[in-house]
Structure 1
Amino acid sequence: MTEVAFHFNVPDKLAYSCRLLRKAWGNGARVVVTGEPDALGRLDQMLWTFSPLEFVPHCQLDASAATVAATPVLLARSLEACPHHDVLVNLGQQVPDGFERFERFIELVTLADEDRAAARSRWKHYTDRGYAMRRHDLAQGGGA
């Protein structure tokens, strides 16, 4: 069963995602990031510029098959065509269709009221279906 973790009190989803993805890539993990197209586009740009000495290899899921196969971090609007199912990170407000195919699933939640309300709904969705939940509260020093 998919391991679901919520990272709460994230000050900036995209900056936090960059650090999380850098750490995951450094540990050899293959990660898919999903969310709204605008957020994925901004994350793509940030991953090119956030750390001049530590590039995180990434691409959009609609890149060539060879590029997708060779890239450890994929940015995907839809999870249907994902070539691996190791780790999924959700930047969006909805429960991603197909999340249950992944071994690990990470939800990022900011301090914004609307983000927290949507996260509560997703948390309930997962617990109602029997998923074991892990909570990482960044306000208590748990960062990427």
Structure 2
Amino acid sequence: MVRCQPRSPGCGIADDQLSQLDGHLFGEPASLYAFAPRLETFDVSPPVLSGAISKTIAAPKGKNSVRVTYKVTAKDTGPPTPRPRCVTATCDSVPVTCKPRSGSRFKVGHTRVSCSATDDSGNKATARFTIRVNRQR
């Protein structure tokens, strides 16, 4: 196997290889060349966020705020990124950051929650939803 050196327009990128097979054709010395480019995939798809759903909560009687929990998740939809320790089906999950965080106290009124997730390739997705806290009467 011979590497394509120097790089030429036909060599492409990464570990492209040019194979040479020497032999005889019709009794004459001959060489056959086979070019096998290594194809690379690039992840340009942002993660997909789930669970960013607006909701309305009633504050306990006599209180001006309530602790609210929610769960927003993200999955990477692009080509898999090699992860040596990744051996489960959760390998495509992406960490999500939300502000205000789940479990925070939300005051009576409307509060906008903003969540984001960035995959290993740097693709970012955001989602927003509203938590509405009503006073109990």
Q: Normalization by structure 1: what TM-score?
A: 0.22
Which structure has the highest helix share of the two?
A: 1
